[in-house]
């Protein structure tokens, strides 16, 4: 009977030890989880910005009439960024520049700029990050 009591107290001590270990490691695990979530969100936003710039450049490359329609190019670029969380009338910002190269061929540069905001204020890192992507497309003749 004495032996049983010793075994039971030993198990209670192990449970307390596990609880203390969990309390010590839980903040580290939560910070790692938040970091992984923010990294995934910023990567997703960068892919969306890249796809938006490509979509706008593809629209502009269709012909000289399409390259002259700046509003349609911007709409094509923004259409691919609808899944971004912090969108407004100026975020993402799309700029279009058309010009000719040294051989006289028309091209269009479509730039999509998006301000990404992290969920958590990370020490030593900015709370908002500007993501920007420019894609150049030669306009079909």
Banded model confidence at residue 107, pLDDT cuts 50, 70, 90:
very high
Cis-peptide, bond into residue 92, ω within 30° of zero:
yes
Task: Give 26-59 pLDDT, tens digit per residue.
Answer: 999 999 999 999 999 999 999 999 999 999 999 9
Closest CA to 59 of 76, 80, 82: 76
Higher pLDDT, 18 or 15: 18
Q: What is the pLDDT of residue 122?
A: 84
Average pLDDT, the chain: 87
Which span out of 11-15, 53-57, 87-91, 123-127 was modeled with the highest average pLDDT? Answer: 53-57
Whether 63 contacts 56, CB under 8 Å:
no
Domain ranges of the chain: 2-138
Between 23-27, 45-49, 122-126, 135-139, the lowest mean confidence (pLDDT) is in 122-126
Q: What is the pLDDT of residue 6?
A: 56
């Amino acid at each position: 009977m004495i032996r049983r009591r010793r075994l039971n107290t030993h198990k209670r001590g192990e449970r307390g030890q596990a609880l203390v270990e969990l309390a010590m490691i839980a903040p580290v695990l939560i910070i790692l989880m938040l970091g992984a979530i923010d990294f995934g969100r910023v990567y997703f936003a960068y892919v969306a910005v890249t796809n938006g710039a490509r979509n706008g450049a593809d629209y502009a490359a269709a012909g000289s009439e399409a390259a002259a329609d700046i509003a349609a190019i911007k709409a094509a670029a923004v259409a691919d960024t609808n899944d971004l969380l912090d969108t407004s009338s100026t975020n993402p910002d799309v700029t279009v520049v058309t010009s000719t190269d040294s051989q006289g061929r028309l091209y269009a540069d479509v730039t999509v700029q998006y301000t990404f905001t992290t969920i958590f204020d990370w020490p030593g890192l900015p709370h908002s990050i500007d993501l920007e992507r420019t894609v150049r497309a030669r306009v079909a003749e």
